[in-house]
Amino acid sequence: MLRWACWLCTVAHAVHTLTEGEQVRGVTSLADQVYVLRQKERDQVEVYDVINYRLQLRLTVPDVRGFTDMTSCEHCRCVYIACTIAKCVNRLHAEGAATQWAVNDEPAGLSVNAAHNVLVTCRDVRKIKEFSSCGDLLRELTLPDDVINPHHAIQTRNGALIVCHGYLNDAVHRVCKISADGRHVIQSHGGQRGSDVGQYDVPRHLAVDNGFVLVVDVCNGRVTLLSPTLDYIGQVVSRDDLKDDPVRLCLDVQRRRLYVADNECKDSRWVAGRVVVFGV
């Protein structure tokens, strides 16, 4: 109950900002390191220590461009990187060795479930594909008809799926809890696109801790906190805490650190980015 009570009164406070550079397409933590994925031809993955946030090394994912997301698996000691152009997922080991497997649809978001399998959200076809850590396709779920443009999905311990969806001019922008078979929306938060409390404008990325849900709300420039039943609790991060548009996040539960990728937009393009570290 203690962690639940802590979330009910949480407002994040910024403790550090990692070096600004090319736009950030993903951020995750693994062991004692923070991994930052940038959109460039080489040295796409920057690795920082979690104590002083010093840059330790850069890793290159060969022959890959068009990144959309990154996640990690402590069990397998690796990070996974999604590429839309090649329609694949890259597995990058902590030592730097890389392998990849085909998704056959454009991947939008990545997460790892309790079985250490990789969930790939495919926005255009409204599907979630579950792969083993070696890239074997285990199952494929088609989401309900009213879940348009899903960006990211996380599976809860009881098998349900938390999914955020809605893009640009879509009428509905919300976060949904969907049954384990992918067929039914059990609960939802949001609706008509907007900036009021209870509304979203491109909810793009999620983190879940003990049932509580953190939602990156891109165009509103904030991170929203929802209860395990998807009731609104408050804003953990507001636009005042960021420089530009939040696009991805990662929650380090052990250290109570929230990493938020914050990208600068010019002429409808992200041109630069940074990761802001918050204490929660």
**CA pair distance 37, 45, nearest whole angstrom:** 5
Give the amino acid at 222: R
pLDDT (tens place) for every residue of the chain, 280 residues total: 445 445 555 688 999 999 999 999 999 999 999 999 999 988 899 999 999 999 999 998 887 778 999 999 999 999 999 999 999 999 998 766 789 999 999 999 999 999 999 999 999 999 999 999 999 999 999 999 999 999 999 999 999 999 999 999 899 999 999 999 999 999 999 999 999 999 999 999 999 999 999 999 999 999 999 999 999 999 999 999 999 999 999 999 999 999 999 999 887 777 899 999 999 9
Question: Residue 146 is encoded by which pair of tokens?
Answer: 């009213």
In this structure, are residues 110 and 122 in contact, taking their beta carbons and an 8 Å threshold? no
Rg (CA), the chain: 17
3 state DSSP class of 99: strand
Kind plus residue range of the DSSP H or E element containing 8: helix 2-8
The full set of domains in the chain, from first to last, is 2-279 (2.120.10.30)
**CA pair distance 123, 84, nearest whole angstrom:** 11
In this structure, are residues 89 and 74 in contact, taking their beta carbons and an 8 Å threshold? no
3 state DSSP class of 273: strand
- Given this model, what pLDDT does residue 5 score? 47
**CA pair distance 9, 168, nearest whole angstrom:** 31
Please state, in angstroms and as integers, the Cα–Cα distance from residue 76 to each residue in 94, 132, 148, 249, 272, following that order. Answer: 9, 11, 32, 21, 31
Give the amino acid at 208: V
The pTM score is 0.95
**DSSP single-letter state for residue 21:** B
Q: Is 114 exposed, middle or buried (0-12, 13-18, 19+ CB in 10 A)?
A: exposed
3 state DSSP class of 182: coil
**CA pair distance 124, 108, nearest whole angstrom:** 9
Q: Is 51 exposed, middle or buried (0-12, 13-18, 19+ CB in 10 A)?
A: exposed
3 state DSSP class of 262: strand
